[in-house]
Amino acid sequence: MRAAVIVFPGSNCDTDTHHALAEVMGVPTDLVWHATPSLDGYDLVVLPGGFSYGDYLRTGAMAAQARVMRAVREAADRGVPVLGICNGFQILLEAGLLPGAMLPNACVEFRCEWVHVRVETGRTPFTASADVGQVLRMPIAHGEGNYVADRATLDELHDNDQVVWRYTDADGRRTAGANPNGSVGDIAGVCNARGNVVGLMPHPERCSETALGGADGRMVWESVLARVAA
Amino acid sequence: MSGLPQIYTAHVFVRLKPGVNDPPGATVAAGLRDLGFDGIRDVRVGKIVDVELVAPDAATARERVNAMCEQLLTNPVIEDFEMELIEPQPLKLSDTAW
């Protein structure tokens, strides 16, 4: 088992994610520079949060063109679990590896706070160990997490069980106040049709040990480690 | 003049598709109302990308900028674009690398 955390110019959650995987979970993990042409030998690929390329043009747009993204696409095609966190999610959207797009938060504020998300499906490697309906408390920190997709795409997401997390209150209820960014359908994370490529706005690497104020993010790592080991 | 490369400038206007929420636009509208401007119905914020390129003819320039828009300059999920191609200026010797 070996994990890759991709580093783009402007990534800023790369070492946190490396810490969560390598130190907290004990997984051999490499920081992999965006110019790397191959991801052969990796069983897990994580695109971390940050502000790659200064969010120039659109969030994630420039990083989606990086050389390593061809290797990410190949890994995804091989069935390797790929996780995009926050800016990593935005990059996967811009690369077309996940459906939909991001807009600036409806409140037009940068939201940096703890939120609750409800696990909507256990079909992805990152939620396989969770119970559907389980509520996780995780931090967010983003200005553009307002997920949007056209009606046909939303229907497809629903029909194929591709919505992975939704924002809810602590009791798992979808309320207007629980959605921090205006995301359509309170969507906090989605996956591709196959289920192995997953993106989410909250930061599991920032809540993988109790010293950080919460450890619900461990579920994401425990799920994928169990899946890769199986 | 065919065959001789020319410098084209393309003004690319990028707009959110109709119906796509525009939080920055709504904020600017509120700001204009706060300044006392009456009658503001809606504001949409987009961007302009000016691309200067060398191409053999206008059709080729247009084709290349279209491809740029599809691959990087716009996100077709949420954005539309229009292009305005400016009449070329003859390429001067000082513009070339050879």
- pLDDT tens for B53-63 read 999 999 999 99
Instruction: Name every chain B residue with its beta carbon within 8 A of the beta carbon of A61.
Output: 72, 75
pLDDT for residue B1 is more than 50 = no
Q: Are the beta carbons of B21 and A58 separated by less than 8 Å?
A: no
CATH code assigned to B6-95: 3.30.1280.10
A134, A188, A199 from A130: Cα distances, Å: 7, 16, 16
Minimal Cα–Cα distance from B92 to chain A, Å? 31
The count of other CB atoms within 10 Å of the CB of residue B89 is: 11
Confidence of residue B84 (pLDDT cuts 50, 70, 90): very high
Could you tell me the residue ranges of all domains in chain B? Answer: 6-95
A83 closest CA partner among A196, A217, A162: A196
Mean pLDDT for chain A? 97
CA angle A56, A59, A62 (to 5 degrees): 60
Q: Residues near B1 by Cβ (< 8 Å), separated by ≥ 6?
A: B90
The structure's pTM equals: 0.94
Looking only at the bridges linking them, the beta strands covering A135-142 and A111-119 are: antiparallel
Domains of chain A, each with CATH number or no CATH: 3-229 (3.40.50.880)
For B16, the closest chain A residue by CA position comes to A103
Query: Measured between CB atoms, does B68 come within 8 Å of chain A?
Result: no
Chain B contact probe: residue of A150, A154, A156, A179 with most B CBs at under 10 A: A150
Catalytic annotation, residues of A: 86, 203, 205
Q: How far is CA A47 from the centre of its chain?
A: 8
Q: Are the beta carbons of B23 and A103 separated by less than 8 Å?
A: yes
Write out the H or E segment, with its range, that includes residue A200.
strand A197-200
Which DSSP string do the residues of B10-51 spell out, in sequence order? EEEEEEEPTTS--HHHHHHHHHHHHTT-TT-------EEEEE
Minimal Cα–Cα distance from B4 to chain A, Å? 32
Instruction: Give the dihedral sign, CA A172/A174/A178/A183.
Output: positive
Q: Are the beta carbons of A103 and B77 separated by less than 8 Å?
A: no
Confidence of residue B4 (pLDDT cuts 50, 70, 90): confident
Minimal Cα–Cα distance from B59 to chain A, Å? 26
What is the ipTM, given to two decimal places? 0.86
For B24, the closest chain A residue by CA position comes to A108
The count of other CB atoms within 10 Å of the CB of residue A145 is: 29
Measure the CA–CA gap between A109 and A186, rounded to whole angstroms: 17
Instruction: Name every chain A residue with its beta carbon within 8 A of the beta carbon of B22.
Output: 103
Residues A21-39 have pLDDT tens digits of 999 999 999 999 999 999 9
Residues B43-82 have pLDDT tens digits of 999 999 999 999 999 999 999 999 999 999 999 999 999 9
Query: Measured between CB atoms, does B94 come within 8 Å of chain A?
Result: no
Residues A141-160 have pLDDT tens digits of 999 999 999 999 999 999 99
Measure the CA–CA gap between A205 and A196, rounded to whole angstroms: 19
pLDDT for residue B96 is more than 70 = no
Minimal Cα–Cα distance from A105 to chain B, Å? 7
Which amino acid is present at B82?
E
Provide the percentage of residues in chain B whose pLDDT is more than 90. Answer: 82
- Tell which wins on pLDDT, A230 or A123: A123
Residues A62-86 have pLDDT tens digits of 999 999 999 999 999 999 999 999 9
Query: Measured between CB atoms, does B26 come within 8 Å of chain A?
Result: yes
pLDDT for residue B3 is more than 70 = no
- Beta-bridge mates of residue A117: A136, A167
